[in-house]
Amino acid sequence: MHVEHGRPKDCADRTARELAVYDLLDRLDIPYVRVDHAPAETMEVCADIDTVLNCRICKNLFLCNRQQSAFYLLMMPGDKPFKTKELSAQIGSARLSFAPPEKMIEYLGLYPGSVSVMGLMNDSEHRVQLLVDQDLFRDEYIGCHPCVNTSSLKLRRTDIFETFLTAVKHNYLSVELHGE
């Protein structure tokens, strides 16, 4: 894996949704470091990317309530276990589960394995509430996918939570997960 600053020099094999992320980050003047890699479908693979980028790649979970009337994108440290009961109590939702892939595609323009905060740029109707584990606020940098799981980005936390989220008109709720 080779680390590069900014967008790829050759974009011929890149998807439109990946290029849209680079376009938005560039337009917002948000610097980023990028690494291309084989599909990262597990947090174990992301651990190697963490080392290369020298930051923590987030675990991103797309969740919904039982009625599928409320949808959530949860960002949390990749090494922390997730317990639905712990989160449900904090956000006042009776029962959470993983949302159907069709809703992920419809609301975030993302496919399973590529879930990322960057997908909120596609949620112009604000159907997805961002939830962020408070541990992520301790890190200066956060790693995420640019809407594909064959590249990863290192972004300054403040650029994500202040500049990016403001630009895509999304807010977040801070949650405290212990994984117990």
Cβ neighbors of 106 (< 8 A, separation 6 or more) are none
- The answer to whether 162 and 32 have CB atoms below 8 angstroms apart is no
Bridge partner list, 46: none
Q: Please say if the pLDDT value at position 43 is more than 80.
A: no
- The answer to whether 128 and 105 have CB atoms below 8 angstroms apart is no
Is 68 among the domain residues?
yes
- pLDDT grade for 48, boundaries at 50, 70 and 90: confident
Is 151 among the domain residues?
yes
CA distances in angstroms from 96 to 10, 75, 172, listed in the order given? 41, 15, 18
CA separation for the pair 95, 177 (Å, rounded) = 16
Domain extent for 102: 3-175
Averaged pLDDT for residues 123-142: 94
* Phi, then psi, of 159 in degrees rounded to 5: -65, -35
- Its pTM stands at 0.92
- Residues of the chain with pLDDT > 70, as a percent, come to 95
Give the pLDDT score at 180. Answer: 63
Is 75 among the domain residues?
yes
Is 118 among the domain residues?
yes
Q: Please say if the pLDDT value at position 95 is more than 80.
A: yes
The domain total for the chain is 1
Is 125 among the domain residues?
yes
Is 180 among the domain residues?
no
CATH of the domain at 22: 3.90.960.10
